[in-house]
Structure 1
Amino acid sequence: MELANIERLLEKYLNAETTIAEEKVLKNYFLNDTIAPHLEEYQTLFGYFSTSKNERFTKTIQLNSQKKNWKWLYVAASIVVLISVYSGYENMQQRKAEKVYAETIDAFQMLSTNLNKGTVAIAQLQRFEDTTNKIFKQPKRNKK
Protein backbone atom coordinates (compact mmCIF):
# COMPACT_ATOMS: atom_id res chain seq x y z
CA MET A 1 0.00 0.00 0.00
CA GLU A 2 2.85 2.35 0.74
CA LEU A 3 4.23 1.86 -2.80
CA ALA A 4 0.85 2.78 -4.33
CA ASN A 5 0.74 5.89 -2.14
CA ILE A 6 4.29 6.89 -3.22
CA GLU A 7 3.41 6.38 -6.88
CA ARG A 8 0.27 8.51 -6.48
CA LEU A 9 2.29 11.26 -4.68
CA LEU A 10 4.99 11.07 -7.36
CA GLU A 11 2.35 11.54 -10.06
CA LYS A 12 0.96 14.55 -8.17
CA TYR A 13 4.53 15.89 -7.72
CA LEU A 14 5.23 15.67 -11.46
CA ASN A 15 1.98 17.55 -12.13
CA ALA A 16 2.97 20.19 -9.52
CA GLU A 17 -0.05 19.46 -7.34
CA THR A 18 1.62 18.30 -4.09
CA THR A 19 1.68 20.05 -0.77
CA ILE A 20 4.83 20.62 1.26
CA ALA A 21 3.91 17.75 3.60
CA GLU A 22 3.49 15.37 0.65
CA GLU A 23 6.83 16.47 -0.78
CA LYS A 24 8.46 15.71 2.59
CA VAL A 25 6.99 12.20 2.47
CA LEU A 26 8.45 11.72 -1.03
CA LYS A 27 11.83 13.07 0.06
CA ASN A 28 11.96 10.75 3.08
CA TYR A 29 11.03 7.77 0.91
CA PHE A 30 13.68 8.45 -1.74
CA LEU A 31 16.41 9.12 0.84
CA ASN A 32 15.97 5.58 2.28
CA ASP A 33 17.86 2.66 0.86
CA THR A 34 14.76 0.57 0.15
CA ILE A 35 13.33 1.98 -3.07
CA ALA A 36 11.30 0.10 -5.67
CA PRO A 37 13.44 -0.65 -8.77
CA HIS A 38 11.14 1.17 -11.20
CA LEU A 39 11.38 4.38 -9.06
CA GLU A 40 15.18 4.47 -8.69
CA GLU A 41 15.51 7.13 -11.39
CA TYR A 42 13.76 9.62 -9.07
CA GLN A 43 16.20 8.90 -6.24
CA THR A 44 18.89 11.08 -7.84
CA LEU A 45 16.40 13.94 -8.22
CA PHE A 46 15.41 13.97 -4.56
CA GLY A 47 18.98 13.19 -3.50
CA TYR A 48 20.16 16.24 -5.37
CA PHE A 49 17.62 18.44 -3.61
CA SER A 50 18.78 17.30 -0.18
CA THR A 51 22.50 17.73 -0.94
CA SER A 52 22.05 21.08 -2.66
CA LYS A 53 20.14 22.32 0.37
CA ASN A 54 23.31 21.92 2.45
CA GLU A 55 25.58 23.64 -0.06
CA ARG A 56 26.73 27.13 0.78
CA PHE A 57 28.39 29.69 -1.45
CA THR A 58 31.53 30.87 0.32
CA LYS A 59 33.08 33.25 -2.18
CA THR A 60 32.59 36.93 -1.66
CA ILE A 61 30.55 38.62 -4.32
CA GLN A 62 32.17 41.73 -5.72
CA LEU A 63 29.45 44.18 -6.60
CA ASN A 64 30.41 46.73 -9.17
CA SER A 65 29.20 50.15 -8.32
CA GLN A 66 27.00 51.37 -11.10
CA LYS A 67 28.49 54.85 -11.19
CA LYS A 68 27.96 56.36 -14.55
CA ASN A 69 30.84 58.24 -15.99
CA TRP A 70 29.21 61.65 -16.31
CA LYS A 71 32.49 63.33 -17.26
CA TRP A 72 32.14 62.15 -20.85
CA LEU A 73 28.60 63.46 -20.98
CA TYR A 74 29.78 66.85 -19.74
CA VAL A 75 32.55 66.92 -22.33
CA ALA A 76 30.14 65.95 -25.12
CA ALA A 77 27.60 68.57 -24.01
CA SER A 78 30.34 71.21 -23.88
CA ILE A 79 31.46 70.35 -27.39
CA VAL A 80 27.88 70.55 -28.66
CA VAL A 81 27.43 73.94 -27.01
CA LEU A 82 30.72 75.25 -28.44
CA ILE A 83 29.84 74.07 -31.93
CA SER A 84 26.39 75.65 -31.63
CA VAL A 85 27.83 78.96 -30.42
CA TYR A 86 30.50 78.94 -33.14
CA SER A 87 28.02 78.16 -35.92
CA GLY A 88 25.62 80.79 -34.55
CA TYR A 89 28.45 83.33 -34.43
CA GLU A 90 29.48 82.48 -37.99
CA ASN A 91 25.86 82.76 -39.10
CA MET A 92 25.55 86.16 -37.41
CA GLN A 93 28.80 87.37 -39.01
CA GLN A 94 27.53 86.20 -42.41
CA ARG A 95 24.28 88.14 -41.96
CA LYS A 96 26.20 91.24 -40.85
CA ALA A 97 28.46 90.98 -43.90
CA GLU A 98 25.44 90.61 -46.19
CA LYS A 99 23.81 93.65 -44.57
CA VAL A 100 26.99 95.75 -44.98
CA TYR A 101 27.28 94.58 -48.60
CA ALA A 102 23.65 95.57 -49.29
CA GLU A 103 24.22 99.00 -47.70
CA THR A 104 27.38 99.49 -49.76
CA ILE A 105 25.51 98.57 -52.95
CA ASP A 106 22.79 101.10 -52.03
CA ALA A 107 25.43 103.79 -51.38
CA PHE A 108 27.15 103.11 -54.72
CA GLN A 109 23.76 103.18 -56.48
CA MET A 110 22.98 106.56 -54.92
CA LEU A 111 26.46 107.86 -55.83
CA SER A 112 26.04 106.64 -59.38
CA THR A 113 22.63 108.34 -59.67
CA ASN A 114 24.02 111.63 -58.37
CA LEU A 115 27.09 111.41 -60.64
CA ASN A 116 24.83 110.80 -63.61
CA LYS A 117 22.80 113.91 -62.67
CA GLY A 118 26.04 115.87 -62.46
CA THR A 119 27.17 114.54 -65.84
CA VAL A 120 23.88 115.63 -67.40
CA ALA A 121 24.27 119.07 -65.81
CA ILE A 122 27.87 119.37 -67.05
CA ALA A 123 26.74 118.34 -70.53
CA GLN A 124 24.12 121.08 -70.46
CA LEU A 125 26.74 123.59 -69.26
CA GLN A 126 29.05 122.45 -72.06
CA ARG A 127 26.31 123.10 -74.63
CA PHE A 128 25.63 126.44 -73.02
CA GLU A 129 29.33 127.35 -73.22
CA ASP A 130 29.56 126.19 -76.83
CA THR A 131 26.50 128.26 -77.71
CA THR A 132 27.88 131.26 -75.87
CA ASN A 133 31.20 130.92 -77.67
CA LYS A 134 29.44 130.81 -81.00
CA ILE A 135 27.48 133.91 -80.18
CA PHE A 136 30.43 135.92 -78.92
CA LYS A 137 32.88 134.21 -81.25
CA GLN A 138 35.44 133.32 -78.65
CA PRO A 139 37.95 130.62 -79.40
CA LYS A 140 37.45 127.22 -77.77
CA ARG A 141 39.62 126.36 -74.84
CA ASN A 142 41.82 123.34 -75.10
CA LYS A 143 40.64 120.58 -72.92
CA LYS A 144 43.33 119.13 -70.87
Structure 2
Amino acid sequence: MELDKIEIILEKYFQGESTIAEEKELKDYFSSPNVAQHLQQYQPLFGYFSQVKEQKSTQVPESLVRTDKAIPLQTKKRNVAWLSIAASVVVLLGIGTYYVSEKNTPPVVAQTELGTYDDPEEALAATQKALALLSNKVNVGIESVQYIKEYEQSKNKIFKQ
Protein backbone atom coordinates (compact mmCIF):
# COMPACT_ATOMS: atom_id res chain seq x y z
CA MET A 1 0.00 0.00 0.00
CA GLU A 2 2.88 2.34 0.79
CA LEU A 3 4.35 1.72 -2.67
CA ASP A 4 1.08 2.79 -4.33
CA LYS A 5 1.04 5.93 -2.22
CA ILE A 6 4.63 6.75 -3.22
CA GLU A 7 3.80 6.24 -6.91
CA ILE A 8 0.78 8.56 -6.62
CA ILE A 9 2.86 11.22 -4.85
CA LEU A 10 5.62 10.81 -7.44
CA GLU A 11 3.12 11.37 -10.26
CA LYS A 12 1.81 14.48 -8.50
CA TYR A 13 5.43 15.66 -8.04
CA PHE A 14 6.15 15.44 -11.77
CA GLN A 15 2.88 17.22 -12.56
CA GLY A 16 3.87 20.03 -10.18
CA GLU A 17 0.89 19.42 -7.90
CA SER A 18 2.59 17.94 -4.81
CA THR A 19 2.72 19.66 -1.45
CA ILE A 20 5.86 20.30 0.57
CA ALA A 21 4.93 17.51 2.99
CA GLU A 22 4.53 15.07 0.09
CA GLU A 23 7.90 16.12 -1.35
CA LYS A 24 9.51 15.55 2.06
CA GLU A 25 7.94 12.10 2.15
CA LEU A 26 9.41 11.35 -1.31
CA LYS A 27 12.87 12.53 -0.19
CA ASP A 28 12.67 10.36 2.92
CA TYR A 29 11.56 7.35 0.90
CA PHE A 30 14.27 7.67 -1.75
CA SER A 31 16.99 8.26 0.86
CA SER A 32 16.10 4.97 2.58
CA PRO A 33 17.84 1.75 1.48
CA ASN A 34 14.61 -0.13 0.62
CA VAL A 35 13.48 1.56 -2.61
CA ALA A 36 11.41 -0.47 -5.06
CA GLN A 37 13.41 -1.63 -8.06
CA HIS A 38 11.23 0.09 -10.68
CA LEU A 39 11.56 3.38 -8.75
CA GLN A 40 15.34 3.27 -8.28
CA GLN A 41 15.81 5.43 -11.37
CA TYR A 42 14.49 8.39 -9.33
CA GLN A 43 16.76 7.77 -6.34
CA PRO A 44 19.69 9.89 -7.63
CA LEU A 45 17.32 12.82 -8.20
CA PHE A 46 16.06 12.92 -4.64
CA GLY A 47 19.45 11.92 -3.26
CA TYR A 48 20.96 14.96 -4.93
CA PHE A 49 18.41 17.23 -3.29
CA SER A 50 19.18 15.94 0.19
CA GLN A 51 22.93 16.05 -0.47
CA VAL A 52 22.82 19.68 -1.62
CA LYS A 53 20.69 20.62 1.36
CA GLU A 54 23.32 19.32 3.77
CA GLN A 55 26.14 21.01 1.89
CA LYS A 56 26.82 24.59 2.98
CA SER A 57 28.93 26.86 0.88
CA THR A 58 30.71 29.51 2.91
CA GLN A 59 33.60 30.08 0.55
CA VAL A 60 33.37 32.15 -2.57
CA PRO A 61 35.05 30.53 -5.57
CA GLU A 62 38.34 32.18 -6.51
CA SER A 63 37.05 32.95 -9.97
CA LEU A 64 34.51 35.32 -8.44
CA VAL A 65 36.90 37.09 -6.05
CA ARG A 66 38.30 40.37 -7.30
CA THR A 67 41.81 41.33 -6.25
CA ASP A 68 41.59 44.96 -7.34
CA LYS A 69 39.60 47.69 -5.64
CA ALA A 70 35.88 47.27 -5.27
CA ILE A 71 33.77 49.36 -7.60
CA PRO A 72 31.75 51.89 -5.63
CA LEU A 73 28.12 51.86 -6.58
CA GLN A 74 26.74 55.34 -6.98
CA THR A 75 23.12 55.78 -7.81
CA LYS A 76 21.96 58.90 -9.51
CA LYS A 77 18.99 60.48 -7.85
CA ARG A 78 16.76 62.36 -10.17
CA ASN A 79 14.54 65.01 -8.82
CA VAL A 80 11.11 63.83 -9.85
CA ALA A 81 9.52 67.15 -8.99
CA TRP A 82 11.58 68.99 -11.62
CA LEU A 83 10.78 66.39 -14.24
CA SER A 84 7.05 66.68 -13.59
CA ILE A 85 7.21 70.48 -13.77
CA ALA A 86 9.09 70.33 -17.08
CA ALA A 87 6.57 67.88 -18.50
CA SER A 88 3.69 70.13 -17.43
CA VAL A 89 5.30 73.14 -19.12
CA VAL A 90 5.73 71.19 -22.36
CA VAL A 91 2.08 70.10 -22.32
CA LEU A 92 0.87 73.65 -21.66
CA LEU A 93 3.04 75.03 -24.47
CA GLY A 94 1.60 72.43 -26.85
CA ILE A 95 -1.98 73.31 -25.92
CA GLY A 96 -1.27 77.05 -26.22
CA THR A 97 0.33 76.60 -29.64
CA TYR A 98 -2.67 74.61 -30.84
CA TYR A 99 -5.17 77.31 -29.79
CA VAL A 100 -3.09 80.13 -31.28
CA SER A 101 -2.77 78.32 -34.62
CA GLU A 102 -6.51 77.61 -34.67
CA LYS A 103 -7.32 81.32 -34.23
CA ASN A 104 -5.05 82.30 -37.15
CA THR A 105 -6.60 79.91 -39.69
CA PRO A 106 -9.42 81.35 -41.77
CA PRO A 107 -12.82 79.76 -41.24
CA VAL A 108 -14.10 77.37 -43.88
CA VAL A 109 -16.69 79.02 -46.11
CA ALA A 110 -19.62 76.87 -47.12
CA GLN A 111 -19.72 76.84 -50.91
CA THR A 112 -23.22 75.65 -51.67
CA GLU A 113 -23.43 77.52 -54.99
CA LEU A 114 -20.79 75.50 -56.82
CA GLY A 115 -21.92 73.75 -60.00
CA THR A 116 -25.16 75.65 -60.51
CA TYR A 117 -25.99 77.76 -63.55
CA ASP A 118 -28.72 80.33 -64.05
CA ASP A 119 -28.62 80.10 -67.85
CA PRO A 120 -29.65 76.68 -69.27
CA GLU A 121 -27.48 77.14 -72.40
CA GLU A 122 -24.43 77.79 -70.25
CA ALA A 123 -25.22 74.66 -68.21
CA LEU A 124 -25.56 72.61 -71.45
CA ALA A 125 -22.18 73.86 -72.71
CA ALA A 126 -20.46 72.99 -69.41
CA THR A 127 -22.07 69.53 -69.38
CA GLN A 128 -21.01 68.85 -72.99
CA LYS A 129 -17.47 69.94 -72.17
CA ALA A 130 -17.32 67.59 -69.15
CA LEU A 131 -18.76 64.69 -71.15
CA ALA A 132 -16.27 65.28 -74.00
CA LEU A 133 -13.40 65.13 -71.53
CA LEU A 134 -14.80 61.92 -70.06
CA SER A 135 -15.25 60.44 -73.54
CA ASN A 136 -11.64 61.21 -74.47
CA LYS A 137 -10.34 59.47 -71.34
CA VAL A 138 -12.54 56.43 -71.93
CA ASN A 139 -11.39 56.18 -75.58
CA VAL A 140 -7.76 56.18 -74.47
CA GLY A 141 -8.57 53.27 -72.14
CA ILE A 142 -10.35 51.36 -74.92
CA GLU A 143 -7.36 51.79 -77.24
CA SER A 144 -5.14 50.27 -74.57
CA VAL A 145 -7.48 47.29 -74.30
CA GLN A 146 -7.24 46.79 -78.10
CA TYR A 147 -3.47 46.46 -77.80
CA ILE A 148 -3.93 43.83 -75.10
CA LYS A 149 -6.37 41.89 -77.30
CA GLU A 150 -3.85 41.90 -80.18
CA TYR A 151 -1.14 40.69 -77.80
CA GLU A 152 -3.36 37.84 -76.59
CA GLN A 153 -4.14 36.77 -80.16
CA SER A 154 -0.46 36.79 -81.13
CA LYS A 155 0.46 34.84 -78.03
CA ASN A 156 -2.22 32.23 -78.72
CA LYS A 157 -0.95 31.80 -82.30
CA ILE A 158 2.63 31.31 -81.15
CA PHE A 159 1.95 28.96 -78.26
CA LYS A 160 -1.15 27.31 -79.84
CA GLN A 161 -3.10 26.53 -76.78
TM-score by length of 2: 0.39
Whichever of the two has the greater Rg, that structure is 1
Using CA pairs below 8 Å that are at least 6 residues apart, which structure has the higher relative contact order?
A: 1
- Report which of the two has the higher share of helix: 1
